[in-house]
Structure 1
Amino acid sequence: MLVVTGAAGFIGSCLVQYLNELGFENLILVDEFDHPDKFPNLQGKSYPEKLHRDDFPDWLRSNGAGVEVVFHIGARTDTTEQDVAIFDRLNLNYTKELWQICTEFAIPLIYASSAATYGGGEHGYRDDHDILDQLEPLNPYGRSKNDFDIWALEQESAPPFWAGLKFFNVYGPNEYHKGRMASVIFHTMRQIRESGKMRLFRSHRPDYADGQQSRDFVYVKDVVKVCYWLYRNTPESGLYNLGTGQARSFWDLATLTFQAMDLEPDITFVDTPADIRDNYQYFTEADMSKLRAAGYAEEFYSLEEGISDYVRNYLAEEKVW
Structure 2
Amino acid sequence: MPRPPHPGENAERVRQGSFTDAAGLAHAFEGASQVLIVSVDTMGEECVRQHRTAIEAAVAAGARRILYTSHMGASATSHFQACRDHAATEEALRACGVPFTSLRNGFYTTSALHFLGNAVESGRFALPEDGPVAWTAHADLADATAAILADEGRFDGPTPPLTGGQSLSFDDIAALATELAGRTMTRTTVPDDQFREQLVSQGVPSEVADQLLGIFAAGRAGEFATVDPTWPPCSAANPSPWARCCASNCPQADPRRGSAGCRYRQSSPCRPPGQGQADRRTALCPRAEVS
TM range (shorter): 0.5 to 0.7
TM-score scaled to structure 2, two decimals? 0.63
Q: Check conservation: 1:87, 1:140, Cα contact below 8 A.
A: no
Shift of residue 164 of structure 1?
0.6
Distance 1:99 1:68 in 2: 9
Q: Check conservation: 1:215, 1:285, Cα contact below 8 A.
A: yes
Structure 1: which 5+ runs fail to align? Answer: 3-24, 29-48, 79-83, 119-134, 173-182, 204-210
TM-score scaled to structure 1, two decimals? 0.57
Q: Check conservation: 1:197, 1:265, Cα contact below 8 A.
A: yes
How do residues 32-43 of structure 1 correspond to structure 2 at under 5 angstroms?
A: none
Report which of the two structures shows the higher radius of gyration computed on alpha carbons.
2
Letter matched to residue 67 of structure 1: A
How do residues 1-321 of structure 1 correspond to structure 2 at under 5 angstroms?
A: 49=14, 51-54=16-19, 57-62=22-27, 64-67=29-32, 69-78=34-43, 84-91=44-51, 93-101=52-60, 104-106=62-64, 108-118=65-75, 135-155=76-96, 157-159=97-99, 162-172=100-110, 183-188=111-116, 190-193=118-121, 195-201=122-128, 203=129, 213-234=131-152, 235-240=154-159, 241-244=161-164, 246-272=166-192, 273-274=195-196, 275=210, 280-281=217-218, 282=220, 283=222, 284-286=224-226, 288=228, 291-292=230-231, 296-297=232-233, 299=235, 301-303=238-240, 306-313=241-248, 316=251
Change (3 A) 1:64 1:89: closer
Letter matched to residue 302 of structure 1: P
Q: Check conservation: 2:134, 2:164, Cα contact below 8 A.
A: yes
Shift of residue 230 of structure 1?
0.5
Q: Which is richer in strand?
A: 1
Map of 1:32 onto structure 2: none
CA RMSD of aligned residues (A): 3.3
Shift of residue 251 of structure 1?
0.7
Please state whether the residue corresponding to 1:53 is helix, strand or coil.
coil
- What does the per-residue CA deviation read over 1:270-321, in whole Å, with 9 as the maximum and x for residues that have no partner? 22235355771112223636x45xxx53547421xx223223335659xxxx
Change (3 A) 1:89 1:190: same
> Identity across aligned pairs (percent)?
13
Structure 2: which 5+ runs fail to align? Answer: 3-9, 197-209, 253-291
Aligned length: 222
- What does the per-residue CA deviation read over 1:175-210, in whole Å, with 9 as the maximum and x for residues that have no partner? xxxxxxxx22344262231x2222232x3xxxxxxx
Q: Check conservation: 1:76, 1:90, Cα contact below 8 A.
A: no
